[in-house]
Structure 1
């Protein structure tokens, strides 16, 4: 333990580095500026200044997802923290860990305009809250915050009282291990029942969710043993890319072929998923089937539907154990995949070729062409909006860790920020982000210049239908004038160029070819603006 006397703000900065985090996102204010300065000038950390505080949370969340470390952001007090609320809810609902270091108003300054009860505010988001209790407990409180973020898989806000910052302390290097070794091998009647259902199934399907990503090899081994096709939830997109009987996303986002196959199945073996109603198509796809649900979080079992049998157990150990007992009992394979053509379940229909007058590009055709042209080693990010489900279906990601969804709270305007955070975690790979026009105006335009300043390899594709699409559909469905949902935005391509990047406007197939050529030769953040007919964009598949 070091006996060198330091100040509290220095101890906080050092504690971040003690947890091997060398990148911090945020905005400085009077309650956190000395901590940030010490982190950069004396700890050797990199500070990424954002345009608006909530962006720092989204960047840290994406950094966590892609790097596997705990992303860290920092803001000052008052409105700086309230600007982070939407992003904190997104992170909490996505079960993504990160740390937000929030400075706080001096207790004695009761008339400070930026005073707010931080604990009560954060409670509403679902994030955790850690109070720095005293100057003497700084290192312990910081270590506890990092532990809780990792163990609880959610954002944790650390309250840093401004009163403490210039108090002298002796810094201690403290970190707490997270005990996450695989455990809980199932046994007993429930396991016996599950084995019986699986052994007797003639058309089984294996479904893997975000909680089973680390169990890929064991789940594939089970699928091959059963001769059963594989599918994933949205969160696990890309998990089985290289498997010949990969169905890709299960549920409302399935291809017609895969959806029909699911309807024909008699048993679905579900690893690490809560079976959201998008996954089950509001129960239609699990009706009259045996459902075996395996999840190591008891709160996720029966959360959305009641399975036939459930096992509170580790995905990898359970898959291995099922294979063992199938072999012991000499259970023959189902032969289900022998009815299928390899790689036949992932192709979504191209749709009809709509006649374009040179003002718009056909959205589906553009996505199909971009899928072939975008860098293969990409990280894929999407903002929220009507456009997003077709991107999820038609644009691939190399693996689940390279796929970031920002729609857990139903918000728009979070995608570009997440893309920048991901790019800081994988500096040698391009990051592709799809955004709608409304979402880009709400949040992306604020941070595109951040990507330019940081020289990120960022490919932004704005799906511009000059409307808030979900609302536009509702007016049209009721044969009402959708004019209130439509906007005359500035040219996003020209704006991107003005902000220091490269913008390309796409209204025709020839324009799209030029955009693809520009992507291949990019030397700075690039924005491709797809001009879309608001009456010709497919509905969300949810």
Structure 2
């Protein structure tokens, strides 16, 4: 059996049903073999970064290992941004990357892949024809255990050799749960607290049951918050205050600032989560729980370091800390229940208030909708005003700060569960950077709503220039072609929304049910500045 056929067979053996890719010389035989010999669905993108982002979105939605394939040379370099995004987002993913033949050097697409992959901070797995099946299984296990992408480089002439082994099962995990050390200081901090707050991060989502964390918070009388990637984990809990950090509403930020003890479970407490170390009060005792001591204080101060698995720590603290109501008072519950007061509508002659657009989308779409958000100034509006009820229904693609990946990630999320509508919230800049993927959306036929927050500019840069007192014209794109006709030409149902009447029409369209791809081009005003952006500017972290 040829190596390319062995790769396809091993993937099918591991249960792969969907692969995302872009065909080239380096995967020319792998892709049809997957499709015709193993009935694997291969979803073709229009750009290699999109192929990776689709696999990333699929993995974030399912919690499983995403699979993508691109060709050699520019295929890999085009994919690097999306691979780094997946790496920083802790997405388990295996990328099958073609490479030029070892027997022929100096080809136009020849590049030394190993240092490129290493420079991006990515893992390149070993591969040899004699162990082809085993190497794929090992790469899969590495992706699962590290929660990171793994790259397999596959020279085209190597793919034509005979594989020297047979199907392999998935190797057992080598990642042990980190048994907590001494918890005495953490217990004492919670015992002394009157206003405890539990902040759950990605580490908690990966290692703890939600009920273990909720049980601990209920036991010690704490409020519940999450970092952004875990948005929605505590949805429906009467003492949940939402996302900690830049996307928190003002009333909830005020509550979090009043905490006298913060228990961070698997949360890195980065600049965004802590609003540049200003979210929590100076006197608050911060107990930071992570699997490695290297995470303690990486971004902000801490008082009590705990090394251990977040789930194990939560259960042990529940057993050791005295029960009490502490911050669970009627007044606090009422403050949370009152929630966030919608700001006054700031729509003007330039366009609609983007906050109003986000709230209208939330009202029109079902509660179980999946929300995929691209990067840009607009991103805080849907992230703050469109609720999700499960972290797996929130796909955020700005881990590397790149725009233009959200649309493809939405496709991957829709492939993972085609029974639910997926909202792809994008800016006009990010959409035009990935415009070819509108064709991918159209070809998919999936219930994807592309909501464009269109301010006719690179919005973040426009506001940074404006706040710096520098002319902003160079951040604008006057005369850009209307997006709705472009989408319609590609096969989507589309509508331009420029005023309140159009907003009502869009709401009616969505309320009637989403059965296929739709693009809504919302013209939004650039006079509403996101609070998170202004804070980033003031901190110098933009």
Q: Is the 8 A contact 1:468 1:486 kept in 2?
A: yes
Deviation at residue 171 of structure 1 after TM alignment: 4.7
Q: Is the 8 A contact 1:238 1:397 kept in 2?
A: yes
Quickly say closer, same or farther: Cα 1:345–1:314, change in 2 above 3 A. farther
Task: State the alpha-carbon separation in 2 of the partners of residues 492 and 218 from structure 1.
Answer: 47
Aligned residue in 2 for 1:254:
248
Q: Is the 8 A contact 1:348 1:394 kept in 2?
A: no
Task: Please give the residue correspondences for 1:466-505 in structure 2 after superposition, counting only pairs within 5 Å.
Answer: 466-487=456-477, 488-505=479-496
Deviation at residue 296 of structure 1 after TM alignment: 2.1
Deviation at residue 216 of structure 1 after TM alignment: 1.3
Q: Is the 8 A contact 2:286 2:302 kept in 1?
A: yes
Aligned residue in 2 for 1:326:
321
Aligned residue in 1 for 2:191:
199
Aligned match for 1:278, one of 272, 277, 281: 272
TM-score (norm 1): 0.94
Aligned residue in 1 for 2:431:
440
Secondary structure of 2:420's counterpart equals coil
Secondary structure of 1:321's counterpart equals helix
Secondary structure of 1:473's counterpart equals helix
Off by >4 Å, runs of 4+ in structure 1: none
Q: Deviations over 1:446-490 (max 9, x none)?
A: 111112112111011000000011111122223332111111321
Quickly say closer, same or farther: Cα 1:346–1:142, change in 2 above 3 A. farther
Aligned match for 1:125, one of 113, 120, 142: 120
What is the Cα-based RMSD across aligned positions, in Å? 1.8
Quickly say closer, same or farther: Cα 1:197–1:240, change in 2 above 3 A. same
Q: Deviations over 1:320-361 (max 9, x none)?
A: 21111125xxx543144343134726833422333523x522
Task: State the alpha-carbon separation in 2 of the partners of residues 8 and 272 from structure 1.
Answer: 40
Aligned residue in 2 for 1:268:
262
Aligned match for 2:173, one of 162, 168, 179: 179
Q: Is the 8 A contact 2:421 2:514 kept in 1?
A: no
Quickly say closer, same or farther: Cα 1:369–1:343, change in 2 above 3 A. farther
Aligned residue in 2 for 1:216:
210
Task: Please give the residue correspondences for 1:62-211 in structure 2 after superposition, counting only pairs within 5 Å.
Answer: 62-133=57-128, 135-179=129-173, 183-188=177-182, 191-211=183-203
Task: State the alpha-carbon separation in 2 of the partners of residues 216 and 130 from structure 1.
Answer: 33
Aligned residue in 2 for 1:3:
none
Task: State the alpha-carbon separation in 1 of the partners of residues 514 and 178 from structure 2.
Answer: 49
Task: Please give the residue correspondences for 1:406-445 in structure 2 after superposition, counting only pairs within 5 Å.
Answer: 406-443=397-434, 445=435
Aligned residue in 2 for 1:350:
342
Equivalent residue pairs, number: 529
Quickly say closer, same or farther: Cα 1:131–1:305, change in 2 above 3 A. same
Q: Is 1:306 matched up with 2:306?
A: no
Quickly say closer, same or farther: Cα 1:169–1:89, change in 2 above 3 A. closer
Secondary structure of 1:280's counterpart equals coil
Aligned residue in 2 for 1:362:
353
Task: State the alpha-carbon separation in 1 of the partners of residues 155 and 468 from structure 2.
Answer: 53
Q: Deviations over 1:226-245 (max 9, x none)?
A: 22211111011001101001
Deviates more, 1:295-304 or 1:142-151: 295-304
TM-score (norm 2): 0.94
Secondary structure of 1:433's counterpart equals strand
Secondary structure of 1:168's counterpart equals coil
Deviation at residue 185 of structure 1 after TM alignment: 4.1
Structure 2: 5+ residue stretches without partners: 537-542
Structure 1: 5+ residue stretches without partners: 1-5
Deviation at residue 165 of structure 1 after TM alignment: 2.0
Task: State the alpha-carbon separation in 2 of the partners of residues 250 and 461 from structure 1.
Answer: 25
Deviates more, 1:252-261 or 1:90-99: 252-261
Secondary structure of 1:42's counterpart equals helix
Task: State the alpha-carbon separation in 1 of the partners of residues 246 and 49 from structure 2.
Answer: 31
Aligned residue in 2 for 1:340:
332
Quickly say closer, same or farther: Cα 1:265–1:522, change in 2 above 3 A. closer
Aligned match for 1:22, one of 17, 24, 32: 17
Q: Deviations over 1:86-122 (max 9, x none)?
A: 1011011111111110111012211210000011111
Q: Is the 8 A contact 1:383 1:414 kept in 2?
A: yes
Q: Is the 8 A contact 1:245 1:342 kept in 2?
A: no
Aligned residue in 1 for 2:539:
none
Q: Is the 8 A contact 1:232 1:239 kept in 2?
A: yes
Aligned match for 1:388, one of 375, 379, 383: 379
Q: Is the 8 A contact 1:386 1:539 kept in 2?
A: no
Q: Is the 8 A contact 2:455 2:525 kept in 1?
A: yes
Deviation at residue 521 of structure 1 after TM alignment: 4.3
Aligned match for 2:441, one of 414, 432, 451: 451
Task: State the alpha-carbon separation in 2 of the partners of residues 521 and 352 from structure 1.
Answer: 29
Q: Is the 8 A contact 2:493 2:518 kept in 1?
A: yes
Task: State the alpha-carbon separation in 2 of the partners of residues 196 and 158 from structure 1.
Answer: 48
Task: State the alpha-carbon separation in 2 of the partners of residues 224 and 217 from structure 1.
Answer: 10
Aligned match for 2:231, one of 237, 240, 262: 237
Q: Is the 8 A contact 1:13 1:43 kept in 2?
A: yes
Aligned match for 2:527, one of 530, 535, 538: 535
